[in-house]
Structure 1
């Protein structure tokens, strides 16, 4: 069946009936339709018969989809398969939730629109960009913790709300238990080198793909595409070389064969120095020789998570121009937009993270402990003293009372919506976690 017509009714293996409402779009693997199923509007991905014919073992792929539906989504951020159709004329499809309004495919954040002279989609601010990165990292981590890995990963897998960085992860039909390879051909630009060369995908190769996604979210261009890897005529042999047997990072400090230049890597060169050194170092590690060649060492999700949570905590509104910029605890820096001076003299140091004492800096619940927590729930915000802008306090945005031990060992309480002056030597207790002002 080449294409499903509006009004077509089909059955799933769970005896549900679906009705085609409209065609939404098509791709290399199949078409996507809006359908009604069990009284809800959902999305149906229906595979081209040619896609099924190219699979190593179509029945095994079908059974994997069935197993994934039974197991359920790793988190609510996955547009996970919920229904599986019966086979029809050598093909089949699966039903998943529809993408809500307001979400843009990551691809649009990477494309320039010559008519508007803007990117087709843009993050509202740096915080939204950091939130998106954190959400994607957490999605990978949850997926791997459930024993899965991706067969085919690219920028089309992610839908992002540009206002707040919320992420929905789609195309989860290509998710399987680690080490299982269904022969689904991904895009080489996002594949780990060992997969380009014929190896089976696993969580280690996923980590390479994750690094590519994160790099493009920050710098737009591809980390392996520079003067060496962009010939006038790309051939399959060259593509295999540039992404598989001999990939070179455009900002590799030890190998400049593929160095970034102003024609190909304008955004990379423009934004590279804006980001803190700890972010740059992780990308150098992610695309350095030990990562693109055996032993294929990769930056793990927890390391990425810590880095982007830290980056978000150091993102504040500039008091001079109002735009978000980066602050560094205990240093003076310039706003990346207006050049105004921003000075941060203190910070609240918890076991794993540090909160700069600068107006607008936000404290998230997960930052207070040394183990996993909620990195999306804001529990405090640094506020500036209106009479003396050099002084700051932390506002309690929870419904719980905090306690503060002063240098003379007296203890004060901070009620909900109350504030704690950020003075050196103060020790803040939030639940079982402590943070010291330094």
Structure 2
């Protein structure tokens, strides 16, 4: 069946009738349409017949879609298949929720608009960028915890709200139980080297793809595309070499064959030194020799999550120019925009996370304990003393009463919306977790 026309009606395996309303867009695997189904406006992905013909086992792919629908989405961040259509003329499709209009495809954050002289989409803040990274990492981990891995992962899998960093993960038809390979050809630029060379995708290969996504979210350009891997004419053989058998990180400290340069890697060179060393080290390890060659060691999601939660906590509005910049507890640093000095003298230390004591920093519920919690719900916010900007306090944003143990062992309480000074050696207990000001 060729492109579906407005008004076309079909049935799902659950017996519901869907009606095509309009064409939304097309891709290598199929077209996406706005449809009405069961009284809701939704999205239908309808596969090209050529896509079906190229699959190793179309019936297995179809059955996997049905199994995923029955199991349900790992989290609400996934635009998960909800209905599977009946087969028609050698093809079929699935129905999922529509993405809200305020979400932009990650691809737009990576493409320059020559007419407008800016990126087609941009994050409103560094905090929004960190939130997006955290959401994507959490999505990967939830998927893996449910026993799934991706078959085809790339920048088109993610829709992001530029203002908040909220994420919706799409194209989940290519998700399967680990070790299952449907023969779906993904983009080699996002594949792990072993998958480029023919291995089946799994959780470990997903972690390489995740690192590529995170790198491009921060630096825009691709981590493996430098002077060595961008020949005048790319051939399939060269592509397999540069992404499979001999990939080289553009900022590999031990191998400069593919070194970043000002023509190909402008943004990478511009932003690399701006980000903290612990972020840079994770990318060096993600694309270093032990990752792109056997034994294919990869950064796990928890490590990435801890790093980006920390980065978000170290991102503050400059009190001089108002723009976001980075700080480090125990140091004086310069605002990356206006150059003004910013000093952070102390930190609030919990079991797993250290939170810098600086105006505007939020303390999230997930930072309080040593196990994962909600990294999007703020438990407190650090506020600066208006009369003495060197002094800070923590505002209680929860509905709980906190307790505070002072150095002389006296105990005070902090009511919801109350504040507690962040003085050295104060011990603040929030629920079952305690943080100490150091």
TM-score, structure 2 normalization? 1.00
* Corresponding residue of 2:146: 146
Give deviations 1:162-221, integer Å, cap 9, x for gaps: 000000000000000000000000000000000000000000000000000000000000
CA drift at 1:20: 0.4
Match of residue 107 from structure 1: 107
Residue by residue over 1:390-430, the C-alpha shift from the partner in whole angstroms, topping out at 9 and shown as x without a partner, is 11111111111111000000001111111110100100000
What is the deviation of 1:5?
Answer: 1.0
Task: Give the aligned partner of residue 223 of structure 1.
Answer: 223
Q: Which residue is equivalent to 1:417?
A: 417
Q: Does 2:113 correspond to 1:128?
A: no
Query: How far off is 1:355 after superposition?
Result: 1.0
Q: Does 1:5 align with 2:10?
A: no
Q: Does 1:375 align with 2:379?
A: no
SS in 2 for 1:107: helix
Give 3-state SS (helix, strand or coil) of 2:190's partner: coil
**1:338 lines up with 2:338 in the alignment:** yes
Deviation readout 1:250-287 (Å, 9 max, x if unpaired): 00000000000011000000000000000000000000
1:430 and 2:422 are equivalent in the alignment: no
Where in structure 1 do 4 or more consecutive aligned residues deviate above 4 Å?
A: none
Unaligned runs of 5+ in 2: none
**Structure 2 counterpart of 1:172:** 172
* Whole-angstrom distance in 1 between the partners of 2:3 and 2:235: 32
Q: Which residue of 2 aligns with 1:60?
A: 60
Q: Which residue matches 1:266?
A: 266
- Residue 282 of structure 2 corresponds to 282
1:318 aligned residue: 318
3-state SS in 2 of match to 1:189: helix
SS of residue paired to 2:259: coil
Task: Give the whole-Å Cα distance in 1 for the aligned partners of 2:79 and 2:334.
Answer: 41
CA distance in 2, matches of 1:274, 1:161: 24
For residues 183 and 298 of structure 2, the distance between their equivalents in structure 1, rounded to whole angstroms, comes to 23
CA distance in 2 between counterparts of 1:57 and 1:2 reads: 21
Match of 1:76 in 2: 76
Distance 2:176 2:136 in 1: 18
Aligned length: 438
Secondary structure of 1:428's aligned partner: strand
Provide the rounded CA distance (Å) in 1 between the counterparts of 2:3 and 2:264. 39
Q: Partner of 1:269: helix, strand, or coil?
A: helix
Other-structure match for 2:188: 188
Instruction: Tell me the SS of whatever aligns to 1:325.
Output: strand
1:161 aligned onto 2:165: no
Kindly state the Cα deviation for residue 244 of structure 1 after the two structures are TM-superposed: 0.1
- Structure 2 CA distance, aligned partners of 1:23 and 1:357? 51
Cα deviations by residue, 1:17-70 (Å, 9 ceiling, x for unpaired): 000000101111000000000000000000000000000000000000000000
Look up the match of 2:299.
299
Matched, 1:388 2:388: yes
Q: What is the alpha-carbon distance in structure 2 between the residues aligned to residue 32 and residue 436 of structure 1?
A: 52
C-alpha distance in 1, partners of 2:136/2:110? 16
Name the CA distance, whole Å, in 1 between partners of 2:117 and 2:414. 49
Rounded Cα–Cα distance in structure 2 between residues aligned with 1:375 and 1:254: 36
Aligned twin of 2:198 = 198
Q: Secondary structure at the match of 2:188?
A: coil
Paired with 2:361 and 2:340, the residues of 1 have a C-alpha distance of 17
What are the Cα deviations for residues 119-154 of structure 1, in whole angstroms up to 9, with x where unaligned?
A: 000000000000000000000000000000000000
In the other structure, the counterpart of 1:212 is: 212
Match of 1:23 in 2: 23
Distance (Å, rounded) in 2 between the aligned partners of 1:403 and 1:302: 30
Shift of 1:160: 0.1
Query: Residues of 2 paired with 1:69 and 1:265: CA distance?
Result: 41
Q: Give the Cα separation in 1 of the matches to 2:206 and 2:121.
A: 25
Secondary structure of the corresponding residue to residue 24 of structure 2: strand
Rounded to whole Å, the distance in 2 between the matches of 1:125 and 1:60 is 43
Structure 2 Cα separation of the partners of residues 179 and 277 of structure 1: 35
Q: Deviations over 1:369-394 (max 9, x none)?
A: 00010000011111111111111111
Query: Offset at 1:101?
Result: 1.4
> Matched residues in 1 for 2:212 and 2:359: separation?
33
- The alignment partner of 2:176 has SS state of strand
**Structure 1: 5+ residue runs without aligned partners?**
none
In 2, the alpha carbon distance for the partners of 1:357 and 1:146 equals 37
Q: Distance in 2 between matches of 1:243 and 1:201?
A: 15
CA distance in 2: counterparts of 1:126 and 1:289, whole angstroms: 30
User: What is the CA–CA distance in structure 1 between the aligned matches of 2:346 and 2:404, rounded to whole Å?
Assistant: 16
